Amino acid sequence: MNITDIFKQAQEVQARANAMQEQLGFIEAEGVAGAGLVKLVLNGKAELKSLSIDPSLLRPEGREIVQDLIVAAHGDAKGKVERRVAEEMQKLARDMGLPPGMMPG
């Protein structure tokens, strides 16, 4: 493989990585806590897309519970998003013929 081929392959990797970065906004995962009392959706960029809180939790004495459930639901969704992103990056690496571990994710 000559330097021109290496440069061309590097450009292809960069283009695919940029495309993958754009696609992260379309990956979504729902996080749930409190047996469904709190639900939220994060995208692949870890941006909060929606939040749903059961009305039964909206009492002044339930404030700390709501806060804890939001944090738990966020952790649930974040873990799911991270797994999906890692899977997509592995697929991209495979499609490009790269050895495992060559793509971030």
DSSP 8-state symbol, 54:
-
Closest CA to 23 of 88, 80, 74, 100: 88
C-beta of residue 86 within 8 angstroms of C-beta of residue 29: no
Question: In which region does residue 93 sit, left (phi positive, over 0), alpha (psi from -120 to 50) or beta (all else)?
Answer: alpha
Integer Cα distance of 57 and 32 in angstroms: 14
Q: What are the pLDDT digits (tens) for 92-101? A: 878 777 776 6
Which domains are present in the chain?
A: 27-92 (3.30.1310.10)
Integer Cα distance of 60 and 82 in angstroms: 34
Q: What are the pLDDT digits (tens) for 41-69? A: 999 988 999 999 999 999 989 899 999 99
pLDDT beyond 80 at 102: no
Integer Cα distance of 23 and 48 in angstroms: 16
| Global confidence as pTM | 0.74
pLDDT at 104: 56
Integer Cα distance of 21 and 94 in angstroms: 17
